[in-house]
């Protein structure tokens, strides 16, 4: 079994990722006044269960070069930044929630609570780049409320 990453009770994400207990992270951006979800950023996480079961979290012959992983992550961050060109302007003050789709047996902090999925009715969706490591593949997408749908 792999050695757990150092993390505290308020940040279980690292351990969840290490043990393959997370399937998805969602950042839901909602209007403060309307309470309506305006953007929903989804990061689907696929974990190589064999690698986790073997505890192969260090370098091996099948490891992907750290520089290549960093380049892929930089590319997705640039794409997220460039999304301002097609996402509608958010006209009201907004707040965000982080939704974590984890295994039922994952240790969840007592202060966390269940949430609805914060789907957007009649959303427009754009798939973003993916990135892979030796252990994980992350696919990203953004769904947003298209103001033209209200007409």
Mean pLDDT, the chain, whole residue set: 82
Does residue 8 lie within any of the structural domains? no
- Whether 60 shows a pLDDT value over 90: the answer reads no
Residues in the chain: 151
pLDDT score of 124? 93
Higher model confidence: residue 5 or residue 111?
111
Q: What is the CATH number of the domain that holds 91?
A: 3.30.900.10
pLDDT score of 111? 87
Does residue 6 lie within any of the structural domains? no
Q: Hey, how many other C-beta atoms are within 10 angstroms of the C-beta on 72?
A: 17
Whole-angstrom distance, CA of residue 123 vs CA of residue 147? 10
Does residue 139 lie within any of the structural domains? yes
pLDDT score of 103? 87
Q: How many domains does the chain have?
A: 1
Does residue 53 lie within any of the structural domains? yes
Is residue 102 within 8 Å of 21, Cβ to Cβ?
yes
Does residue 54 lie within any of the structural domains? yes
The secondary element (H helix, E strand) that includes residue 66 is: helix 66-82
The predicted model gives 105-125 an average pLDDT of: 89
Does residue 1 lie within any of the structural domains? no
Of the listed ranges 53-67, 85-99, 128-142, the one predicted with least confidence: 53-67
Does residue 7 lie within any of the structural domains? no
Expressed as residue numbers, the domain containing 39 is 13-150
């Amino acid at each position: 079994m792999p050695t757990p990453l150092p993390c505290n009770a308020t940040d279980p994400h690292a351990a969840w990722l290490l043990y393959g207990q997370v399937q998805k992270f969602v950042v839901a951006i909602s209007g403060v006044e309307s309470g309506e979800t305006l953007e929903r950023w989804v990061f689907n996480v696929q974990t190589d269960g064999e690698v986790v079961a073997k505890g192969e979290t260090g370098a091996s012959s099948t490891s992907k070069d750290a520089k290549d992983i960093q380049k892929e992550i930089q590319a997705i961050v640039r794409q997220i930044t460039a999304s301002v060109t097609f996402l509608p302007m958010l006209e009201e003050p907004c707040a965000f929630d982080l939704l974590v789709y984890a295994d039922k047996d994952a240790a969840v902090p007592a202060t966390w609570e269940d949430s609805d999925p914060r789907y957007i009715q009649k959303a427009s969706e754009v798939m973003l780049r993916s990135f892979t490591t030796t252990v994980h593949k992350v696919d990203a997408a953004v769904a947003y409320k298209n103001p033209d749908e209200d007409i």
